[in-house]
Structure 1
Amino acid sequence: MIPDAILNQLELPGATYEPVPGGDINRSYCLHTAHTTYFLKINRHHPHTRLFEKEAAGLRELAGAGMLRVPAPLKWGVAGPDQYLLLEWLHACAPVQHSWEALGLSLAKMHGKPQPFFGLAEDNYLALWPQDNTPADTWPEFYSNRRIIPLARSLTDAGKLNKADLANAGNFCKRLPELFPDEPPALVHGDLWNGNLLFLPDGSPALFDPAVYYGHREMDIGMTSLFGGFDTGFYKAYHQSYPLQPGWEQRLPYTQLYPLLLHAWLFGGHYIRDVRNILASFS
């Protein structure tokens, strides 16, 4: 049920709704009015304050790049113990010929526009993890200090990783300058798995649930392959527009370490083993 306090703030008289399945983080609903349809997300306000305000800002950042379609954030706020985000409803359809190629081309164009630094003007979230986006001059500095070490320490403090794992994470970070090719910062979606992608009725792609920042573009590529589901046409079109540097396939585990650390923090289980498998080669 949508709390009355939220319905009152939305000011959509006569709206009907039903829950939307899927997702582990938020309660989601499809709202219908006489004239249009909306997507509504709800979560507790504490401890993840400003969660949806940050998501709305990420959507605006992606929209401002002008390369990829995203749902327009329409209203967000706090009502009682809950926070909410009202979004434009995007009608999902099956991809058509060249849909995946269009996604690859658009993402490559977005990545091809250099950004001023690694980081972002404000912090945000990856799922429920607070992302520290304090700017850094280099990718190794940013990836180490803003991504890998904070999560590895949190997992160690929680007893999910041990001191040897944390030491291996430190060794990994020391080697980052030699592991990643030197490239300018790029705007990345930040959580680009197939569950955050849909295709519109005209076959064009749209993305949602971002965790944006200016980072190494291979972070988005690694995320696309972490859980599968991306057609080969996507990679072919991306490479043709903005070729990845040699060895990108061997670097996939390094880009995937951050989301795997997050999943270990959220869910534990086999994600802890996946993290340890990557870190083991840096013992």
Structure 2
Amino acid sequence: MSLSTAWLAQLPLTNIKTVTPVSGGDINAAYAVQTDQTRYFLKVQPQRGAAFFSHEVTGLKKLAAVVTTPRVIATGTINGDGYLLLSWLTSGHGSQFDLGRAVARVHQHHAPRFGLDHDFTIGKIPKYNQWQTNWATFYTQQRLDVLVKLAKEQGLWSTNRDDHYQRLRQQLLVERHMQTVQPSLLHGDLWSGNYLFTATGTPALIDPDIFYGDREMDLAMTTIFGGFDDDFYAGYQQVYPFAPGFEERLPQYQLYYLLAHLNLFGETYGPAVDRILQRY
């Protein structure tokens, strides 16, 4: 979308010099906004209102207490379009070891229960975050079941997939680890496109989808699409060592993100989903 002069005049900024489209993912329109003194990062969600960004704002503010994130400058609605104005982080190069340590510190931020104080259902993948005291209940009912139901509605499910899924589901409900998880603050979408290093080499996290859950969910996401090397995991373990059996449990959490991609992008991700389901 193109932003008119009248639209831009309603931002809480003065002396805007240039507005340049930048890469911001496939969900929002994104721009670099340069004033006479400062550069900002602007996200716009056409005709969705400011409510679309409220979950991200909450996530950025919670993460900012532990790790570097873009600072929230302003959020609101202009002519029906939701916008989120953030500080600009100039990218540089940094250490995967330091990144691992930063993520571990995020995961050391704990809560008494699993979930969050609000749902996020405006996006393509609904997130139901009602508080739970039992992680197995939260993960099966409020994460996996939701995506399986969505896959069925889109004609992306089969009897064979469901047979294997039901066996996995029953295993999760009685698995000892699921009963001993401590709720950790999770980024929620920790792939390589959602971290960067600042100009000074400091790790920063962007585009969060936070809730409190098993830290192994975030770690599982790092193993699916690449972008995290051995130094990342070494740095993480220096701060917050993995629980015994971590590698054996990775597939049950990789499944969630692969189911999300199955629903978003179709049967291209079916074989990856099946490879995990066939284990059960």
The question of a shared fold, defined as TM-score above 0.5 by the shorter chain, is answered with yes
Q: 2:86 is matched with which residue?
A: 87
The 2-side partners of 1:276 and 1:94 are apart by: 37
- The answer to whether the 8 A contact 2:156-2:267 is kept is no
Q: What letter is aligned with 1:152?
A: V
Q: 2:40 is matched with which residue?
A: 38
- Is 1:172 equivalent to 2:168 in the alignment? yes
Q: 2:58 is matched with which residue?
A: 57
Change (3 A) 1:140 1:106: same
Identity of aligned residues (%): 40
Change (3 A) 1:218 1:154: same
Q: 1:70 is matched with which residue?
A: 69
Q: How many residues are treated as equivalent by the alignment? A: 276
The 1-side partners of 2:240 and 2:259 are apart by: 28
For the aligned residue pairs, the C-alpha RMSD in angstroms reads 2.0
Q: What letter is aligned with 1:200?
A: T
Measure how far apart 1:126 and its partner are: 9.5
Q: 2:111 is matched with which residue?
A: 115
Measure how far apart 1:49 and its partner are: 7.2
Q: What letter is aligned with 2:220?
A: G
Q: 2:10 is matched with which residue?
A: 9
Q: 1:258 is matched with which residue?
A: 256
Correspondence list, 1:157-196, <5 A: 157-176=153-172, 177-178=174-175, 180=177, 182-196=180-194
Q: What letter is aligned with 2:244?
A: P
- Is 1:146 equivalent to 2:142 in the alignment? yes
What TM-score results when the alignment is normalised by the length of structure 1?
0.90
- The answer to whether the 8 A contact 1:19-1:29 is kept is yes
- The answer to whether the 8 A contact 2:21-2:32 is kept is yes
Measure how far apart 1:45 and its partner are: 3.6
Measure how far apart 1:58 and its partner are: 0.9
Show structure 2 runs of 5+ residues with no match.
none
Per-residue displacement from partner, 1:210-266 (whole Å, max 9, x unpaired)? 000000000111111111111211100111221112221222221111111111111
Show structure 1 runs of 5+ residues with no match.
none
Per-residue displacement from partner, 1:81-118 (whole Å, max 9, x unpaired)? 421111111001122xxx22222122222212331100
The 2-side partners of 1:273 and 1:89 are apart by: 39
| Stretches (4+) displaced over 6 A | none
The 2-side partners of 1:186 and 1:234 are apart by: 19
What TM-score results when the alignment is normalised by the length of structure 2?
0.91
